[in-house]
Amino acid sequence: MIIECSSCGRPNRLPAARLFNKAVCAACKVSLLPRTHPTSLASAQDFDELIRDAPAPVLVDFWAAWCGPCRTVAPEIEKVALQRAGELIVAKVDTEALPEVASRFGIRSIPTMIVFRGGKETQRLSGAMPASAILAELSL
């Protein structure tokens, strides 16, 4: 997976299986973990690696730039990532950029949030809502 440094913006390659280990930016040496922001997934391969190898539950937000409710829920997803840093991995999949991933999971409306545990879908939620409702509905 490619993790962008929150300090200098440099992209860093980090295997999904190491998302709870110590990791620092190759350029500025700032800690990359724990992830306090959602990670945007750039490819189906990154998505598959994350779901398969993640050492913790993964919350994936399926969204699109043209979607008003998606823009409304984006700051709420940020709050979830911040509140659950170190115990939950939060990722975003742009359904326009990765339609094959969205199709694989039958995404018909957005925003849709899916929790994966051990490589399997365990929960699903659709619609814009506050972070507190997302956490309560998805038992996170």
Note if the pTM is more than 0.85.
yes
Residue type, 11: P
Q: How far apart are CA 101 and CA 99, in angstroms?
A: 5
Amino acid at 109: S
- Enzyme catalytic residues: 67, 70
Give the count of domains, the chain: 1
21 within domain boundaries = no
Query: What pLDDT does 35 receive?
Result: 87
Residue 45: which domain range? 35-137
Domain contains 89: yes
72, part of any domain: yes
On average, the pLDDT of the chain sits at 94
pLDDT digits (tens, 9 = 90+) for 88-137: 999 999 999 999 999 999 999 999 999 999 999 999 999 999 999 999 99
- Which are the contacts of 8, defined by CB distance < 8 A and separation ≥ 6? 25, 27, 28, 30
CATH code, domain carrying 101: 3.40.30.10
